[in-house]
Amino acid sequence: MFNKTFSFADAMGCCNCFGFSRRSNRQSQRSKPAINNSLSQELLLDDDIEDEEDLYSDEVTNNTSGDESTEQARPKRSEDILNLRVENGMICRQFPAKETHKVVRTEDENGNKMINEYIRECKIGSGSYGKVALYRSSVDGKNYAIKAFHKSHLLKLRVAPSETAMTDVLREVQIMKMLEHPNIVNLIEVIDDPESDHFYMVLEYVEGKWVCEGSGPTCALGEDTARRYLRDIVSGLTYLHAHNIVHGDIKPDNLLITRLGTVKIGDFSVSQAFEDDNDELRRSPGTPVFTAPECILGLTYHGKAADTWAVGVTLYCMILGEYPFLGDTLQDTYDRIVNNPIVLPNDLNPQLRNLIEGLLFKDPRLRFTLGDVAEDSWVIGDDGPIPEYLCWCKRKSLGMDDNDDINMLA
């Protein structure tokens, strides 16, 4: 049993190989960039590709502002940082994800498509760059979610002056290979055949998700459910930040719910890794309605604070069943995010009001941190402090063996 002075932040922080430390909040504000006023409201809510025709079109897009020299000004790219961690064995998972370099596409006796051992059941949806389908393993009988990509398409789809969608997908794979946490979707296997255009990520299958569609109070969750979900989100996101990973697209669509009601954070397609606690970013490719004000106002922003803002928007959605700053156009939405005060019902629980207002503070220097949220009275409620999770790399640094419990009591 560990001493109770072992704090939540200390438990979530990992061994020094990940360079975790507290950061001082800084903000660099610049003139507001020009915004395309003709984009539809649908794009404010979801930046995913919806069908196969869109997925494999030859359209080239650019989701960044500034020139290539600006993009390259960052000391180290996420890919370089992640490669260095791999070279030095800095991986926070007990068992590595399986890597397969041969793709065999066949059919079973019932005519169902197969990828190696996996039998296709049905389509689940579409991710940022690829389709997602439910498969069943013919080996262990378990269900898995498989994200399928075409490498040729990813290489043609430009997302930054010096990056293609392939860069994003490979970075997503690298990040997920590093991490393991009960509130993060687990990567099981990567299938990448150098002789095939197909590329697959085999992920644990999570049964459902809560999605806010802005349909009013009928979409809202009760306080108890929202509190339980928020605690899971904070636990998983704190783990990511402790490993200097910024998610970049926290929203209900990316929060999967297990049958037991556990939230797992998914979709790391726009996530970034940092060498230390300097989490300054220039590119903001997340979903507009969840975008923090500083991402709109400045050329640079801090990723962890932007993630925390998105948690605040998500909590607002959970409680009220609608988005706090949704306008009719992209320009209108951005104007509301930057300028409009947060509006909350008069009869809202005062503790909950304080938490939402703290998370949606427009100045990131004054915004609640995840540590503040973990210690908040509404979050603690009758359940007590969020359980401290002792991750694999922290356990190794403390010399703990495989039989030691990784979940510490507060």
Residues recognised as catalytic: 249
Q: Is 209 among the annotated ligand-binding positions?
A: no
- Residue 240's nearest CA partner among 402, 39, 18, 16 is 18
CA distances in angstroms from 198 to 55, 101, 154, 201, 409, listed in the order given: 14, 11, 11, 10, 44
- 248 sits in the region (left: phi over 0; alpha: psi -120 to 50; else beta) called left
Q: For residues 386 and 231, is the Cβ–Cβ distance under 8 A?
A: yes
Those residues with Cβ within 8 angstroms of residue 303's Cβ, 6 or more apart along the chain or in another chain:
246, 248, 272, 274, 279, 280, 281
Alpha carbon distance 184, 212 (integer Å)? 20
The total of other beta-carbon atoms located within 10 Å of residue 252's CB is 21
- Pairing status of strand 407-408 against strand 187-192: unpaired
Q: Which two tokens stand for residue 330?
A: 């992209």
- Known binding positions: 147
- Known binding positions for ATP: 147
